[in-house]
Structure 1
Amino acid sequence: MPNLIFLPHESICPEGAVITVEPGVSICDAALAEGIEIEHACERSCACTTCHVIIREGFDSLAPADELEEDLLDKAWGLEHESRLSCQALVGDADLVIEIPRYTINMVSERR
């Protein structure tokens, strides 16, 4: 089973994390199940960019983004070639190294 290696993020995952997941689960669902509170303002319906992540290793193991995801990614803060919406990126058979960007364009955060 593949590992998701989350790089340290100042507030969401200060120590970083490594989790083992079944292929086919979204990066967002896997993170949330392990207590990594990645933002997901649209409840994972591919309607915003708050769950934007950058895949530092293993990007090519993911299925390509569809047109809707690509259109939304154009609005994400800190977009890079290896950017994906974590609610749409389904884990394949390879390990992934994931960076959660420092900022999102979420105007109203669900965090308290």
Structure 2
Amino acid sequence: MTQITVLPHVELCPDGSVIEAEPGKTVCETLLQHDIYIEHACEMSCACTTCHVIVREGFDSLPAAEEEEEDLLDKAWGLEPRSRLSCQVEVGDTPLVIEIPRYTINMAREGKH
């Protein structure tokens, strides 16, 4: 198992969390399995940006994003150099520290603050 530290998010994980992830599963799947209900409007098919996360630690251990993910990331709210779509990031052996941005395009459109 690989450790994922989730930094505090005001709505989804107010106190932050440290969870154990099964290598080979995606970060999105792992968060959902641990009751951190990150948005995933496209049902993890790499067709939206609602599961956008920022990998604060462990980013360099991840395989590079595919072109499709890169194209979508350009549309993500709060894009940073270490941004990824959590539905596309498979957990490996390196511990990760992730931040879930405060907003997604869906949340901004729906007026959730």
Q: TM-score, normalization: structure 1?
A: 0.94
User: What is the CA-CA distance between 1:108 and the residue it aligns to?
Assistant: 5.2
1:100 has 2:110 as partner: no
| Distance of aligned partners of 1:48 and 1:70 in 2 relative to their CA distance in 1, 3 Å threshold | same
User: What is the CA-CA distance between 1:2 and the residue it aligns to?
Assistant: 1.2
Q: TM-score, normalization: structure 2?
A: 0.93
Instruction: State percent identity of aligned pairs.
Output: 66
In the TM superposition, what whole-angstrom CA distance separates every residue of 1:22-46 from its partner, at most 9, and x where no partner exists? Answer: 2111000000001000000000000
CA RMSD of aligned residues (A): 1.4
In the TM superposition, what whole-angstrom CA distance separates every residue of 1:46-69 from its partner, at most 9, and x where no partner exists? Answer: 000000000000001111100000
| Matched ranges for 1:1-40 at <5 A | 1-40=1-40
Classify the secondary structure of the residue corresponding to 2:69: helix
Code of the residue aligned with 1:6 in structure 2: it is: V
Runs of 4+ in structure 1 deviating by more than 6 angstroms, as ranges, are: none
Gaps of 5+ in 1: none
| Distance of aligned partners of 1:38 and 1:26 in 2 relative to their CA distance in 1, 3 Å threshold | same
Gaps of 5+ in 2: none
Query: Which protein has the bigger helix share?
Result: 2
